Amino acid sequence: MTQTENAPDLPLAGIVVVDLGQYIAAPGAAQTLADLGADVIKVESPEGDQARGIGVYGEAIMRAYNRRKKSIVLDLKNDVDLGNARSLIRHADVVVHNLRPGVMDRLGLSAAAIRELNPTVVLASVSGFGTHGPSRARPGLDIAAQAETGMMSATGETDGDPQRVGFPLVDHATSYVVAQAILAALYRRERTGLGDEIEVSLLDVAVDLQCVNWGEYGITGVVPRRSGNGQPTAAPAADIFRTADGSIVVSAYTAARFEQLCAIANCPELPKDPRFADNPARVAHRAELLDALSPFFSELDTETALQQLTSAGIVAGAVRSYDQVLTAADVIASGIFATASSVEGAQYDIPGLPYRSQSTPRNRGAGAVPELGEHTGEVLSRYGLVDHATVH
């Protein structure tokens, strides 16, 4: 396979990925592979990834999930460009897409056709609802998966409307799942020489993200419902307290931690109160418990409260806004944000790989978002292909 331009000692150096994705899930998986050193060729229609045309949100998607890639324009309805796509697939180690079921088939790029072109390729496809059920042809986005897997029904205030999570959680998590599956398939290929075919749906990922809720449901038989902040079967757990300058979230639901919390909050009598004697009692009387503890927090600023609790080993976190996150000492020390370049060349900060490893240093920066078709000539020339625009 063609050697990537990335550093040769990166984990996926030399791996060629053809990214036929739109929006988040498939491009996000390809982004992870690019960060790991793969040479990712983003194949776009003449109109481009649909995210390029939907304003600020689309620009954010491009910035978050399309760095380090080479963008080429292929009109797959054109015979020459479709032939070019086939040639790229022959040279690829990985092909990833999230086109609606049936689209690839109509283009003559079904899974069977791709395996015939390249028997050792790892083909990963993403759909909204899977390819075997009655909704296989439905368009599926993050919000539909949140709605139809119970996630929204369990999120929000008790008496309020169902709420979505405040960011595209399912799409992003799906990108991780796809990348994980691809890496496993590549490792298997190293041992066996065999390619693989991977299917991931937003529906499956959204169900899986709620494993603990499913576990509780299986134990109690009680359908999870919206309950605002706080874990439904433990208290205090994920409960919010107002401080003098903000809010803090606290979890101290084991007997020992609850006693420590009460001692710090100058309420040593609370563990002896029958209403708060154990977790079921505290859950049943959560409102009274929070009322009893709240005066302690209201008199302290958030950082002081956080210091007092964490020094005693109690899990707590300051509720921070995005601008506060950027200036938080732990976030700065982590190095999670890296500088990248937009299509227009503007510099911006974006989260990179959410882990550290010797093989993938964080000081590489986050890369650049390609212009639509920026690398068409370069990539086609590399593989000895002809741009259909030059064919008469």
Long-range contacts of 329-335 (CB under 8 A, 24+ apart): 335/362, 335/363
Contact 215, 148 (CB under 8 A): no
Burial (CB count within 10 angstroms: exposed 0-12, middle 13-18, buried 19+), residue 321: exposed
Q: Is 239 a catalytic residue?
A: no
Determine which one of 49, 171, 196, 239 is catalytic: 171
With vertex at residue 60, the alpha carbon angle to CA 172 and CA 130, rounded to the nearest 5 degrees, is: 30
Q: Is beta strand 247-251 parallel, antiparallel or unpaired with respect to 239-242?
A: antiparallel
Report which residue type is found at 334: S
Please provide the distance, in angstroms rounded to a whole number, between the alpha carbons at the two ends of the chain. Answer: 31
Burial (CB count within 10 angstroms: exposed 0-12, middle 13-18, buried 19+), residue 12: buried
Contact 239, 290 (CB under 8 A): yes
Contact 309, 261 (CB under 8 A): yes
Query: Which positions are annotated as active-site residues?
Result: 171
